[in-house]
Structure 1
Amino acid sequence: MPAPSKRLSGILPSGKDGWEVHFAAMNRKEAGEPIIMLSVGDHDFDTPSETIEACVTAVRSGYHHYTQLPGIPRLREAMARASTRCTGVETNADQIIATPGGQLALYAAVQGTLDRGDHAVVVAPYYATYPGTFRAAEAEFTVVEAEAADGFQPRASAIEAALKPNTRAILLNTPNNPTGAIYSRESLEEIAKLCVKHDLWLLSDEVYWTLAGDHHVSPRSLPGMAERTLVINSMSKSHGMTGWRIGWLTGPESMISLLISLNLVTTYGLTDFVSRAAAEALENDYGVELIADIYNGRRKVFLDAVRGLNDITVRGSEGGMYVMLDVRAIEPDDEKFAWALLDAEKVGVMPGSSFGDAAAGHIRISLCQPDDVLLDAATRLRRFASSYRSKAA
């Protein structure tokens, strides 16, 4: 057959981005092994019943035709109210474009701010799709690591040192996946000053904001930032709607207006009945408080269970759906540690190096399992760490 485009084959040049342990664990579980899956951020519970019923009602009412490219008005208005709460900046519907999931909102933000050959700075540890999203835009990027010793808080000085004449944007994620770190106001203020000084876009991935309680600070709320910040958001985590594929991008009206053209040639709008169910879920906060309570409780249960575990240190882990454990004192090679844990104790975790060099030597634990499963996994981890040390000795 004719050769595919270089753009397509270059999105993941190695054909992988660190997910091998997860896929192996998933395949083994499907084959019947009693694997505890702590490697993926997908809820272990269903979407709230109220949202499901709203969707069924919309289907039965005939809402299954084409919709407006930026999203139906009711949905955009509901998303604008959510963005006002998320970012602390009064937001209207013209500052919102609805997308099929947060990943498409990220894709739109990158496509809207970077031309071929432009440069961006990505704060790491980062979500695994970030590099491929920049490659899809044929843009360059430099990874700046937020160090484990700093609790994975980013340093503006390191970001500024990575800027180039063709730098157009900075991408960060708070609360952070994979570390669970919530970026401090002080850290974000310094980054905001950089954006204003160098006239940069800030792409702010805030999909876990409802799991941070009162600790979340959106950089969009900082001086001079509303006009240069694009906020990526999603209903996947906040409303228990991972498979529904509903997200949105918040930004200046002029940018959002231009991005409608991107929807024209990609998604051509969203599914009507899903949009109406999502609007009702946003209007009524279906599941939001309960989901936040679940993960706050699970975080405490798991951290209490591993606290005091010799040679393993908790890093970040203040919010979101994940806990980051530093295993370097046991095994510097986090991928080797993850494979060995899967083989010995049948626990699937993500190697930290999947998310950037700063997380090398760590493992990411997903909290998407009930308390009793998390406690079982903590017991297996404790047993494994002790055994691994004695074998290494």
Structure 2
Amino acid sequence: MPKPSKRISGIIPSGKDGWEVHFAAMTRSQAGEDIVMLSVGDHDFDTPTETVEACVTALRAGHHHYTQLAGLPALREAMARISTLCTGVPTRPDEVIATPGGQSALYAAVQGVIDSGDHAIVVAPYYATYPGTFRAAEAGFTVVEARPEDGFQPDAAAIEKAVQPNTRAILLNTPNNPTGAVYTRQSLEGIADVCRRHDLWLLSDEVYWTLGGGEHVSPRSLPGMAERTLVINSMSKSHGMTGWRLGWLTGPAEFIALLVSLNLVNTYGLNDFISRAAIEALNGDFGVKEIAGLYAARRAVFLDAVRGMNDVTVRGSDGGMYVMLDISAVEPDDEKFAWAFLDTEKVAVMPGSSFGEAAAGHIRISLCQPEDVLREAANRLRRFASTYRSKAA
């Protein structure tokens, strides 16, 4: 065949990464092996019934046609209401564009602020798609690691050192995937100061904002930041709708208007019947409190179960759907640890280094399992760590 473009060939470089542990575990599970899957952030429960029924009703009512490129007006109104709650900044519908999932919102944000050859800064640990999204824009980027000993709070001074003449944006995620860290107001104020002084965009991924363990602070709410902050949001986690692919981007109205052209050549709008179900889910807050309470309870159960475990330290883990454990005192190579844990105890976890060097020596635990399963996984981890140490001695 003719040669493909460098643009798509370079999005995901070849080579190993810790996702191989998850894929191997999934293959073994599908083959019938009893594997405890704690490696992926997909709910173990279905979308709330009210949302499903709203979708069925819209489908049967004939809502099968094209929608406005920026999203149905009622959908943008509902998303603007949630953005007001999320960011603490009054938000109008024309400051919101609907996208097929949070990843599409992130893609739109990066395409909207980065030209080929520009530079960005990514705060790590980071969600796995961040580097590839910048590569898709033919941009360079520098990863600035938040330190485990600081609870994975970002360091504004370290971020500023990474600023280059062609830097256009900083990307961060709070509550954080994979660490569960909830960035403090002080941390975000430092980063906002860097953005204002260097005239940078701030891309703020806040898809876990309803699952925080404390105060959620959106950098959009800080002085002088509404004009330079783009907030990525999604219904996947907050409303239990991972497979529905519904997200949105919030930003200055003039910028959002430009992104309508991107939807013209990319998505050409969202599904009508799914959009109408989303309107009902957003306006009715279907499942939001229940899902938040569920993950708060699961986090407490798992953290209680690992409390006092020798040579295993909890880092971050204040919010979101994950717990991050420092296992470097047991085995510095987190990927080696994850493979051995899978083979010995039939538990699948993600090696921390899959999300950046800052998380090396850690494992990420997904809380997308019932409490009894999480307790059992913690017991297996305790046994495995003890046995591993005695074998290594």
- What is the TM-score normalised by the length of structure 2? 0.99
Per-residue displacement from partner, 1:185-204 (whole Å, max 9, x unpaired)? 00000100110000000000
Q: Is this contact kept in 1: 2:201–2:229, CA < 8 A?
A: yes
The answer to whether the aligner puts 1:55 opposite 2:55 as a matched pair is yes
Aligned residues: 393
The answer for the alignment partner of 1:271 in structure 2 is 271
Tell me by how many angstroms 1:222 deviates. 0.0
Tell me by how many angstroms 1:17 deviates. 4.8
* 6-15 vs 138-147, which moves further: 6-15
- State the alpha-carbon separation in 1 of the partners of residues 128 and 346 from structure 2: 23
Q: CA 1:118/1:314 → structure 2, altered by over 3 Å: closer, same or farther?
A: same
The answer to whether the aligner puts 1:311 opposite 2:307 as a matched pair is no
- State the alpha-carbon separation in 1 of the partners of residues 177 and 212 from structure 2: 12
- State the alpha-carbon separation in 1 of the partners of residues 43 and 4 from structure 2: 36
SS at match of 1:123: strand
Per-residue displacement from partner, 1:111-134 (whole Å, max 9, x unpaired)? 000000100000000000000000
The answer for the alignment partner of 1:222 in structure 2 is 222
The answer for the alignment partner of 1:332 in structure 2 is 332
SS at match of 2:143: strand
- State the alpha-carbon separation in 2 of the partners of residues 214 and 364 from structure 1: 20
Tell me by how many angstroms 1:213 deviates. 5.6
- State the alpha-carbon separation in 1 of the partners of residues 165 and 310 from structure 2: 47
- State the alpha-carbon separation in 2 of the partners of residues 260 and 43 from structure 1: 31
- State the alpha-carbon separation in 1 of the partners of residues 27 and 117 from structure 2: 39
Tell me by how many angstroms 1:15 deviates. 5.4
Partner amino acid, structure 2, of 1:307? R
- State the alpha-carbon separation in 1 of the partners of residues 90 and 258 from structure 2: 21
SS at match of 2:217: coil
The answer for the alignment partner of 2:28 in structure 1 is 28
Q: CA 1:248/1:28 → structure 2, altered by over 3 Å: closer, same or farther?
A: same
Q: Is this contact kept in 1: 2:12–2:132, CA < 8 A?
A: yes
Q: How does 1:1-393 map to 2 (within 5 A)?
A: 1-14=1-14, 17-212=17-212, 214-393=214-393
Q: Is this contact kept in 1: 2:207–2:233, CA < 8 A?
A: yes
Partner amino acid, structure 1, of 2:34? P
Q: Is this contact kept in 2: 1:79–1:282, CA < 8 A?
A: yes
Per-residue displacement from partner, 1:15-40 (whole Å, max 9, x unpaired)? 56531000000000001110000000
Q: Is this contact kept in 1: 2:96–2:256, CA < 8 A?
A: yes
- State the alpha-carbon separation in 2 of the partners of residues 31 and 388 from structure 1: 27
Q: Is this contact kept in 1: 2:341–2:384, CA < 8 A?
A: yes
Per-residue displacement from partner, 1:150-181 (whole Å, max 9, x unpaired)? 00000000000000000000000000000000
Q: Is this contact kept in 2: 1:219–1:229, CA < 8 A?
A: yes
Q: Which runs of 5+ in 1 are unaligned?
A: none
Tell me by how many angstroms 1:391 deviates. 0.4
SS at match of 1:215: coil
Q: Which runs of 5+ in 2 are unaligned?
A: none
SS at match of 1:391: helix
Tell me by how many angstroms 1:4 deviates. 1.0
Q: How high is the sequence identity, in percent, across the aligned residues?
A: 79
SS at match of 1:143: strand
SS at match of 2:34: coil
- Root-mean-square deviation (Å): 0.7
Q: Is this contact kept in 1: 2:314–2:323, CA < 8 A?
A: yes
SS at match of 1:314: strand
- State the alpha-carbon separation in 1 of the partners of residues 283 and 383 from structure 2: 46
SS at match of 2:192: helix
- State the alpha-carbon separation in 2 of the partners of residues 20 and 5 from structure 1: 26
